Amino acid sequence: MNKIVADSMEALAGITNDMTLMVGGFGLCGIPENAIAALVKLGVTGLTCISNNAGVDDFGLGLLLQNKQIKKMISSYVGENAEFERQMLGGELEVDLIPQGSLAERCRAGGAGIPAFYTPAGYGTEVAEGKEVKDFNGKPHILESALTADYALIKAWKGDRHGNLIYKGTARNFNPVMAMAGKITIAEVEELVEPGELDPNFIHTPGIFVQRIFEGSHYEKRIEQRTVRQQQSLS
Amino acid sequence: MLDRNGIAQRIAQELQEGWYVNLGIGIPTLIANYIPDGLNVEFQSENGILGMGPFPFEDEEDADLINAGKQTITALAGASIFDSATSFAMIRGQHINLTVLGAMEVSDTGDIANWKIPGKMVKGMGGAMDLVASADNIIVAMSHTNRKGASKLLKQCSLPLTGVKCVKKIVTNMAVLDVTPEGFKLIERAPGVTVEDIKAATEGRLIVDGDIPEMRIA
């Protein structure tokens, strides 16, 4: 198996206007920085983006918003982005807000061949409007459908040409479930290694879920909330 | 009256040995500063870590290690990291022993509203709806009244709901209350706060049964 493509532009081949994309990451942690930059360059518009967040004004999916490439966002939390707010209030951007756990499970279900599932999350709230309600063990649940995407853009720490991936720290987040749910999944990694270098016992995403892989470059890894504690003084 | 730290300190007294705990953003985050000595609890952050440690020292921040508030954190020895679906399996599957989160309104039947104010920018519910719908044990940490002085403990929530009939206990700057089928049951008063003060600040049904002790905050 050799799924390696030369760079981010080659990786995005086939992405056209009005497609649905999943984009991994939580906040700015574990986002596919190179693929997002390439999408800006590619200039495709009318995109539906499924991503937990929408980046910040000048980084992450915020770059696509600035460029007016996104028609609809499907997210759980979108609070850190003024351009997002402007487009949403102006009616330029459709937004579908989904409880975070339901979003993750809908992606997982999409990749796992489960068309829908019942969850208690959102019962009795506006999230439940128009959805089937069913009691299990005396507790009401709502029916949520699976999500899939034309392309999933994900980011891992290390990967090999078979598409096997491992993630680092909490940069894992939505990446593994979105890898499963993309019809074509494009993985960018910080380090491309030879097959066999990754211990099969510790693979997070098996290569079967990945169609294209490339080594990214110039990772900025921007931190949204830099919080530190004071060094204890030496006495 | 308690300040934010006092509320966190009082809630820390509810923690029990061996518990896995999810702390929301704001006052709940402060609870980690008041864990009783010798008590083993592990904090989960829903973006995908169990065994979350304190903030890193300066220059040791790792962009790949954050909590659900997007703050840089550390991982303690024995921590584990997982994807978002696994994280919410822990939550939905009721493996988490306690969830503490803030609220804008709570009703005397345990409904909670904390994600949306009509007419204002909607940021989204994040993981709050999953957390409140599934947790066996939910404590709300909040001020008793809003900035205009109006009660946040209501007969019925006026804001869009995050979850229904889910809150079990509320710790405010004025009181500790349990949510019971008959309404808010007053358990403790904050230092310097009278039962009359609490009655005046509580719009929902309030049950005052006998003498109400004052909280003990070390």
Structural domain including B59 reads: 4-207
> Would you say residue B213 lies in a domain?
no
Identify which of A77, A169, A224 has the shortest CB distance to residue B62.
A169
**Region of residue A78 (phi > 0: left; psi between -120 and 50: alpha; otherwise: beta):** alpha
Pairwise CA distance, residues A231 & B58, whole Å: 8
User: Would you give the DSSP letter of residue A126?
Assistant: G
Catalytic residue among B14, B17, B42, B46: B46
Each residue of B8-24: b (16+ CB within 10 Å) or e? bbbbbebbeeebebbbb
User: Taking the CA atoms of chain A, what radius of gyration do you get in angstroms?
Assistant: 19
Identify the residue among A100, A141, A209, A233 best suited for mutation to test binding to B, counting B beta carbons within 10 A and taking the highest: A100
> Would you say residue B60 lies in a domain?
yes
ipTM of the complex: 0.96
Query: pLDDT means per 10 residues in chain A (235 residues)?
Result: 97 98 98 98 98 96 97 93 88 96 98 98 97 97 98 98 98 98 98 98 98 98 93 59
The reported pLDDT for the residue numbered A232 is 65
Question: Cβ of B120 under 8 Å from any chain A Cβ?
Answer: no
Q: DSSP states of chain B as a string?
A: ---HHHHHHHHHTT--TT-EEEE-SSHHHHGGGGPPTT---EEEETTTEEEEE-PPBTT---TT-B-TTSBB-EEEEEEEE--HHHHHHHHHTT--SEEEE--SEEETTS-EE-S--TTS-----TTHHHHHHH-SSEEEE--SB-TTS-BSEESS--SPPSBSS---EEE-SSEEEEEETTEEEEEEEPTT--HHHHHHT--S-EE--S--PBP---
| Among A residues 6-65, those touching chain B with beta carbons less than 8 Å apart | 26-30, 52
- Domain CATH code at residue B91: 3.40.1080.10
Q: How many structural domains compose chain B?
A: 1
Question: Cβ of A137 under 8 Å from any chain B Cβ?
Answer: no
State pLDDT tens for residues B157-215: 999 999 999 999 999 999 999 999 999 999 999 999 999 999 999 999 999 999 999 99
Under CATH, what is the fold of the domain A8-117+147-215? Glutaconate Coenzyme A-transferase (3.40.1080)
Q: Indicate the domain borders of chain A.
A: 8-117+147-215
State pLDDT tens for residues B19-56: 999 999 889 999 999 999 999 999 999 999 999 999 99
Determine, for residues B83 and A122 on separate chains, whether the beta-carbon distance falls below 8 Å. Answer: no
Residue A103's identity, in one-letter code, is: L
Identify which of B54, B123, B133 has the shortest CB distance to residue A78.
B123
Chain A residue nearest residue B44, CA to CA: A170
> Would you say residue B116 lies in a domain?
yes
Strand partners, A192: A159
State pLDDT tens for residues B92-140: 999 999 999 999 999 999 999 999 998 887 889 999 999 999 988 999 9
**Average pLDDT rounded to a whole number, residues B57-74:** 95
The reported pLDDT for the residue numbered A235 is 45
Instruction: State pTM to two decimals.
Output: 0.96
> Would you say residue B202 lies in a domain?
yes
Determine, for residues B70 and A225 on separate chains, whether the beta-carbon distance falls below 8 Å. Answer: yes
